Structure formats: C-alpha cells, structure tokens
C-alpha cells in the first residue's frame, strides 16, 4: 500500500475553520489559508489572521452571526489576485473516471486541489466509517483541500477544516463518498515556483515542469578528449619505438595496432573540433 502525498513546505500549518466568536462558515478561507502556505511558503506568518482577512474581504464581518460562505468564483478571484497559479477543473467533472485519474496524476506531481462538494454529510473517515462532523450537516456545501491519495485503498487524503480535531491530518476519505457528496467545483493549485502548464496539458500523459536534460560541460568534455588524444599519441610513439623482437614476427600485429591507434586519434580530433564549434 502506498500513499501519495504532495510536497508540503516546512512548518505547514493545518487551519481549523472554527473559532469562538467567528463565523462557522469559514471553510473556504481556511482552505485558502492552507493553499497560501503551499504556493508561497513564508509569505503569511499568521494563518489565522489570513483566514479572517479572506472571510472579511469576501463575506463581510467575521462574526458568529454571519452565515455566508465563499463560492468557487470568489476562491478563483482570490487565487488570481494573489498570483497563485491554478487550473479550473470544471471541464472534467462530467467524467468522474477521467477526473479522478487526472487529480491523482496531479497529486503525484505535488499539485493539490481545492474541492467544493454539495453535501458534507457524506464525508466519513475511511478507517472506520465515522462521520467527520458531529452536527446535522445534511445538504450543506463544504470546501476542503486534497493533498494526496492511496493507490490501492480507494481513498484520498484531505485537510478538512471542519473535521473533528481527533481525526488525522490529513484525513483519509473514501473516493466513493467524495463522489456521493457531489463535487461541484475543483481547482488545482500549482506548488511553489511552478508555472502553469500549457492549455490542454494532462498530468496523466506528461510531466510538468518538463524534465530538462542535464547541461553538458563542454569545456570539461573537450579537455577529457584532449587528454585521451594525448594518451593515444604517447602510446603510438611508444609502439613506434619497440625494437624488432620475436613478437614482431606475429603477422601484421604491430601494424594493425598502430593503424587502430591512428584511426582512434583521428576520430578524437574530429570530436574535439566539432564540440569546439557548439
């Protein structure tokens, strides 16, 4: 069994959406406060303050009486304004098989996703089926962060900002339950220092950023080849100085060796010449 987890920066903090005197509908801001740490490690030192700031910016006073929650459109707006690279995955939601394969491939390349579901009551802990919330939550929308998955246990790994604090972080949620909860939006988010891939790119069939070949140390390579050439020259000179001995009676042996060395020497010279022109 293997769990694939995106790279998380040092000192990453899980963000809980509940705080005394604050709105109970801060799942979106809490998720974005975690995203901010992944996209720009160290930019926001106080993630609780960031959570409050985002809520106030989009929903008004962050008070217990405020029951407004963020939409996917608002989250997209915040990501854009912060310069956080992201991909709106809405076009893939009509094919759950392909959608699942794509977000798994993204997770393997350290791309996480924001998920918005329509019925948070379907969210349970994969280990024992326990509901993540202990209140009447049927039909309530919810936002949380996907950071990985198991390749053989049919669950994903999520930082769920409303889950009881006793649950692991990230918590394993069965994929079937995520689908049953009704995925209404998904936003893939680029990790730190990774630009967006080209339009139409699929993580299932490609690697992003594209792997670059290691740079060639042309100077070092030329020096090595020149050293090899000088070694061959020295060997050829030594062979030319071998006196006539019974070994020289072996038909054409020395002649063939000398001819081979001359051929190799010529080849080395051409390589050095070609590399010096690059």
At 116-151, the pLDDT tens digits run 999 999 999 999 999 999 998 999 999 999 999 999
pLDDT per residue as tens digits for the range 1-28: 689 999 999 999 999 999 999 999 999 9
pLDDT at 226: 74
Architecture of domain 3-189: Alpha-Beta Complex (3.90)
pLDDT at 246: 57
Is residue 236 within 8 Å of 268, Cβ to Cβ? no
């Amino acid at each position: 069994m293997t769990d694939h987890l995106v790279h998380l920066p040092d000192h990453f903090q899980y963000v809980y959406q509940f705080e005394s005197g604050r709105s109970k509908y801060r799942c979106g801001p809490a998720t974005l406060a975690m995203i901010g740490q992944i996209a720009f490690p160290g930019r926001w030192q106080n993630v609780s303050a960031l959570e409050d700031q985002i809520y106030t910016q989009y929903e008004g006073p962050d008070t217990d009486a405020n029951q407004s929650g963020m939409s996917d459109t608002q989250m997209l707006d915040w990501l854009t304004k912060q310069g956080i690279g992201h991909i709106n995955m809405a076009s893939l939601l009509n094919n759950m098989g392909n959608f699942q394969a794509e977000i798994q491939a993204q997770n393997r390349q350290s791309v996480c996703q924001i998920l918005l579901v329509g019925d948070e009551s379907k969210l349970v802990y994969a280990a024992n089926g326990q509901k993540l919330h202990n209140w009447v939550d049927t039909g309530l929308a919810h936002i949380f962060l996907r950071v990985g998955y198991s390749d053989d246990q049919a669950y994903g790994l999520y930082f769920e900002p409303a889950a009881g604090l006793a649950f692991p972080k990230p918590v394993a949620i069965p994929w079937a339950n995520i689908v049953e909860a009704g995925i209404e939006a998904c936003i893939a988010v680029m990790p730190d220092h990774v630009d967006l891939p080209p339009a139409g790119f699929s993580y299932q069939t490609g690697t992003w950023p594209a792997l670059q070949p290691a740079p060639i140390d042309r100077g070092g390579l030329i020096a090595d080849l020149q050293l090899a050439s000088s070694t061959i020259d020295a060997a050829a000179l030594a062979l030319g100085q071998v006196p006539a001995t019974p070994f020289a009676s072996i038909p054409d042996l020395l002649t063939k060796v000398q001819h081979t060395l001359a051929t190799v020497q010529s080849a080395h010279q051409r390589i050095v010449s070609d590399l010096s022109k690059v």
